[in-house]
């Protein structure tokens, strides 16, 4: 088991289920997506660049997008990063909060933007 998987599997329910579902969506974006573990969090990237990460907070799961400011599609769902200019995130309190189509569209755009950087 890799450290990113271990991070997810050690979280209590319902957070573990939310993290697993988001991980599944992230890894389905492209065969080029790689999972890593940095700064004690699961990170996802390709071409030696990161495009998102998962973070368990006390009351929600944060799907962070470092260059989320450039996301145009469904940007109304993105929350500003805490004291960060470029970071935007999606926040999930329950498994039912995950709208697969919206999450996949946002992540696909973030991944496409990664290719252009």
CATH code linked to domain 3-116: 3.90.1150.200
Residue pair 48/71 in contact by the 8 Å Cβ criterion: no
Count the alpha carbons within 13 Å of 46 in the hemisphere toward its beta carbon. 18
Chain centroid, CA 46 distance in Å: 14
Spatial separation of the C-alpha atoms in residues 6 and 97, rounded to whole Å: 23
Average pLDDT, the chain: 94
pLDDT of amino acid 103: 98
Cα–Cα distance list, 111 to 57, 61, 69, 76, 79 (Å) = 24, 20, 13, 18, 18
| pLDDT tens sequence across 60-111 | 999 999 999 999 999 999 999 777 789 999 999 999 999 999 999 999 999 9
Residue matched to tokens 């309190």: 93
φ and ψ at residue 86, rounded to 5 degrees? -95, -25
């Amino acid at each position: 088991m890799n450290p990113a998987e271990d991070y997810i599997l050690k979280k209590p329910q319902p957070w573990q289920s939310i993290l697993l579902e988001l991980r599944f969506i992230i890894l389905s974006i492209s065969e080029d997506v790689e999972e890593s573990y940095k700064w004690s969090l699961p990170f996802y990237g390709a071409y030696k660049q990161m495009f998102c990460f998962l973070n368990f907070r006390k009351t929600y799961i944060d799907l962070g997008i470092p260059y989320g400011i450039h996301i145009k599609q469904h940007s109304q769902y993105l929350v500003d990063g805490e004291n960060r200019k470029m970071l935007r995130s999606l926040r999930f309190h329950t498994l039912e909060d995950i709208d697969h189509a919206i999450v996949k569209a946002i992540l696909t755009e973030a991944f496409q933007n990664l290719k252009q950087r």
